[in-house]
Structure 1
Amino acid sequence: MAAPLIRGVTLRVRAEFRVTWIYRGFGTSATCCRRVAPLGPMPNMDIDMKNLDDLEKYRSYTRYLKVAGEESRKVHWWKTYRQYLNQDEVSIPLDEVKAEWERTSGPYDIQKVAEHYGVYQDLFHGATFVPRIVLRVQYSLDEEHSLPVHRGNVVTPFEATSQPEVTFEAEESSLWTLLLTNPDGHLRDNDAEYVHWIVGNIPGNAVQSGEQICHYLPPFPAKGTGYHRFIFILFKQERPIDFTEDCLPSPCHSLESRTFQTFDFYRKHQDHMTPAGLAFFQSQWDNSVTHTFHQLLNMKEPVFEYDRPPVYHPPQKKYPHGEPVRYLDRYRDSQETTYGIY
């Protein structure tokens, strides 16, 4: 009979123990090893931890600690809300917040909104400008109430019947031009506009003292055409401009004469004016538009309606295999209302 085969395996574990197992045998052994300390002193052994300020490289942190202490004692904006607290109520000065917005990021926000509504694309063929001058437009509803125009809010034609009040900040010696146009309402040419109001050579912010190039005409969005954009553009003039060729008779109720393009108007006077302010509102048909067409424009009111085409049904099958249960309802001669999914 052959002697049993003995095999051994030696394993080194974490460089500390040497262990040997013997299979099919009866002996085990283990050897313990200790790591050797590194040669030379440990790093920073000569540093006195009790007097760190005496060391040059640690002394440089003192000024950072001083700056951090001064910064922590300052009143930061996120802690200023406490001064507005009044008996469990938060009082926020909205006028101050709005003024700060208009002074900082407001013009860029207005530009983004105007790009979203396609104002620059339709009026200036894609060219943009930052409306630095805040244009405030208000329609008077009665002696106590008025409706402001912001950036795309809804104003009905009845509310915009009378000429609005327009204000803006300007120097007394400056000159301005104010324009109100509708790029969505032309009845014959989709690329043309209807001009509703133009005032030129405005001294300072006195709009009533400017030259009336085209008198104010209320909005008249035709019935069935949805919302229209009515856009106010404020131009800064470099010098007085002769608008003789642009003047319309007063009053002017001819839509042909009011056909207009802002791009051509600006290109004609671009050497002496620059767009600086922007505001616009949206409006759709109401009953006052009928009065505008009949009494002011002296024309029939156009009405746009959508004629739905008749429902198409394929030729009837003699044996409608696999069709819905109410398949034959499609081909009834009567005009009764039918129900079901066809």
Structure 2
Amino acid sequence: MFRILRCLLICSIAVSMVNIRVFTRAMSTVAKSFSAFGVVPDVIPVAPKDLATVKYPSGAVVCQGNVLSPIKAQVIPQVSWKASPGKYYTVAMIDPDTPSPEVPKFREFNHWLVANVPGDNVTAGETLTTYFGPTPPPGTGLHRYVVLVYQQTGKLYFDESRLIFAVTRIWFSIHKFATKYGLGTPIAGNFYQSEVSLGLGKVPLINSLLGR
């Protein structure tokens, strides 16, 4: 009987060690990718611990800096994370590379901002900024599109202007926004890159997205 209990204890410890290693590796991967692509410190000072799952209806999936066509990311994505029951969250998507990565004088462009999200049910949240898909100017190279999730202290009142038009979305700072409302550091996040080549600037859809 003692041998059986001893064996079970050893197995339990071994499984726990494996889980800790997997968790630590995941944390390390997220932190490394956010730093490698400059999301830390360009957007936030500290990387989130968990990776948010971001999937577009087009089938495009966001994966820590992968490159997606802007055409495949024009519809609101499905965002999920390890949400706690009864908690409220804020979800944001920003572009820190506007109008170009070399000269980001309009940093950051506010692409999407939803607050008071119950659990991970983003559609039930309060939209502060309507979704605006990636529209990097042709020839400016790859832009980073960062999705962040913050856990709120409770259901909050946000005295922000509701943004719809593109011209009102520049010079946003998700870090300052989080500081203003006491959101702390993001608990989850993900990001991708997107660009429009000079040749694609002639495509009618891209022109309409850019207001041309």
Q: Same fold (TM over 0.5)?
A: yes
Aligned: 1:123 with 2:33: no
1:105–1:280 distance in 2 versus 1, CA, 3 Å: same
Aligned residue number for residue 179 of structure 2:
267
Gaps of 5+ in 2: 1-5, 12-18
Could you tell me how far apart the structure 2 residues matched to 1:205 and 1:134 are? 14
1:272–1:195 distance in 2 versus 1, CA, 3 Å: closer
Aligned residue number for residue 237 of structure 1:
152
Offset of residue 183 of structure 1: 0.4
Alpha-carbon contact 1:134-1:169 (below 8 Å) kept: no
1:162–1:272 distance in 2 versus 1, CA, 3 Å: closer
Q: Which runs of structure 1 show a deviation greater than 4 angstroms over 4 or more consecutive aligned residues?
A: 99-102
Offset of residue 265 of structure 1: 1.4
Alpha-carbon contact 1:238-1:273 (below 8 Å) kept: no
Aligned residue number for residue 48 of structure 1:
none
Could you tell me how far apart the structure 2 residues matched to 1:101 and 1:167 are? 23
SS at match of 1:151: coil
> What percent of counterpart residues are identical?
25
Show the 5 A alignment for 1:155-174.
155-174=68-87
Offset of residue 200 of structure 1: 0.4
Gaps of 5+ in 1: 1-69, 76-98, 295-299, 301-342
Identify which of structures 1 and 2 has the higher relative contact order when contacts are C-alpha pairs closer than 8 Å and 6+ apart.
Answer: 2
Aligned residue number for residue 62 of structure 2:
149
Aligned residue number for residue 54 of structure 2:
137
1:248–1:162 distance in 2 versus 1, CA, 3 Å: same
The number of residues matched between the two structures is 190
Q: Of 236, 248, 271, which aligns to 2:162? A: 248
Alpha-carbon contact 1:140-1:164 (below 8 Å) kept: yes
Alpha-carbon contact 1:237-1:274 (below 8 Å) kept: no
Give the residue type in structure 1 aligned to 2:192.
F
- Provide TM-score, normalisation by structure 2: 0.80
Give the residue type in structure 2 aligned to 1:111.
A
Could you tell me how far apart the structure 1 residues matched to 2:170 and 2:79 are? 22
- Partner deviation per Cα, 1:159-207 (whole Å, 9 max, x = no partner): 0011111112212201111010000023786262111000101111111
- Partner deviation per Cα, 1:282-327 (whole Å, 9 max, x = no partner): 0001433311122xxxxx4xxxxxxxxxxxxxxxxxxxxxxxxxxx
Offset of residue 100 of structure 1: 8.6
1:239–1:274 distance in 2 versus 1, CA, 3 Å: farther
Larger Cα-atom Rg: 1
1:178–1:102 distance in 2 versus 1, CA, 3 Å: farther
Show the 5 A alignment for 1:74-85.
none
Give the residue type in structure 1 aligned to 2:73.
A
Alpha-carbon contact 1:194-1:255 (below 8 Å) kept: no
Could you tell me how far apart the structure 2 residues matched to 1:289 and 1:219 are? 10
Offset of residue 273 of structure 1: 3.9
SS at match of 2:113: strand
SS at match of 2:187: strand
SS at match of 2:28: helix
Alpha-carbon contact 1:102-1:134 (below 8 Å) kept: no
Aligned: 1:277 with 2:192: no
Aligned: 1:292 with 2:204: no
SS at match of 1:255: helix
Could you tell me how far apart the structure 1 residues matched to 2:22 and 2:95 are? 26
Offset of residue 223 of structure 1: 0.8
SS at match of 1:106: helix
Give the residue type in structure 2 aligned to 1:293.
L
Aligned: 1:176 with 2:89: yes
- Coordinate RMSD, CA, aligned: 2.5
Offset of residue 153 of structure 1: 0.5
Could you tell me how far apart the structure 2 residues matched to 1:207 and 1:162 are? 14
Give the residue type in structure 2 aligned to 1:283.
S
- Partner deviation per Cα, 1:120-166 (whole Å, 9 max, x = no partner): 12113xx223x23331000112xxxx221010011111000111111
Could you tell me how far apart the structure 2 residues matched to 1:102 and 1:266 are? 29
Alpha-carbon contact 1:248-1:257 (below 8 Å) kept: no
